[in-house]
Amino acid sequence: MVPGIVFGGDAEPLPINIPFNELFKRLKAGRFKSTLFNLKVEGQEDVRVICRDVQRDVVKDLPTHLDLMRLRRTTKINLFIPLDFTNEEECPAIKKGGVLTTVRNEIELIVTAGDIPDAIEVDLTKIENIGDTITISMIDLPKGAKPTIERDFVICNVSAPSSLKSQEDEEDDAEESTEATEVAEDAAEGGEE
């Protein structure tokens, strides 16, 4: 059994024990800290909870303690929600040879406990040209959800591949050296007269 504590709401903190195998299976499945659970404890009312922290053994990385917070369906909570990048094959900028660079794989949102999304969809067909970006204002967030950061931050962009960049740099260097040679030749001719 893994010990834990249920806190928050109007009630006193409640110590609990959860079967290790059940907890480990749910942790491995992912999204454990952003999933709302219905907790049934003998002799207590059923309560909706969300995981706020899982302490782990420093050597074995196995769970040793669990913190759960009581919630109502209308409670607002800050959660990290994963981003799901879609339509990569149809993205015009990627078709032109661009490379997708993800700046964030998840974003922190203030959401209602009853409406926690599994993931936020990022439609890459909005990126037309190499060098364009998608910011948080371009994403359709679920109703009632808003980002914790107030500025319009970048989610991803499509940049030129590094081989294309290095070719452009070499061309720029070649042009500069040609111009420098022409200037030097003009100066030399002007000095002879």
- Greater confidence (16 vs 176) lies with 16
Residues 64 and 88 in one domain: no
The number of folded domains in the chain is 2
Residues 81 and 53 in one domain: no
Is 193 among the domain residues? no
**Which residues contact residue 121 at a Cβ distance below 8 angstroms, ignoring those fewer than 6 apart?**
83, 84, 86, 139, 140
Read off φ and ψ for residue 92, nearest 5 degrees: -60, -40
User: pLDDT value at position 10?
Assistant: 77
User: pLDDT value at position 163?
Assistant: 60
Residues 81 and 67 in one domain: no
Residues 143 and 95 in one domain: yes
Is 96 among the domain residues? yes
Is 126 among the domain residues? yes
Is 182 among the domain residues? no
Tokens of 44: 């207590």
What average pLDDT does range 172-192 have in this prediction?
A: 50
End-to-end CA distance of the chain: 96
Residue 183 has pLDDT above 70, yes or no: no
What average pLDDT does range 23-30 have in this prediction?
A: 86
Q: How far is residue 15's CA from residue 67's CA, in Å, rounded to a whole number?
A: 10
Structural domain that includes position 132: 77-171
- The domain that contains 112 carries what CATH number? 2.170.120.20
pLDDT digits (tens, 9 = 90+) for 149-163: 888 899 998 888 876
Residues 38 and 104 in one domain: no
For residue 191, how many other CB atoms are within 10 A of its CB? 7
Residue 28: pLDDT band with limits 50, 70, 90: confident
pLDDT digits (tens, 9 = 90+) for 60-80: 888 899 998 888 777 788 888
Q: What is the pTM assigned to this prediction?
A: 0.64
For residue 90, how many other CB atoms are within 10 A of its CB? 11
Beta strands across the sheet bearing 120-123: 120-123, 76-86, 106-112, 146-147
Residue 166 has pLDDT above 80, yes or no: no
Is 53 among the domain residues? yes
Helix (H, G, I), strand (E, B) or coil at 139: coil
Distance of CA 55 to the CA centre of its chain: 23
Q: Which of 39, 55, 71 is the last residue of a domain?
A: 71
Is 183 among the domain residues? no
Q: Which of 21, 42, 71 is the last residue of a domain?
A: 71
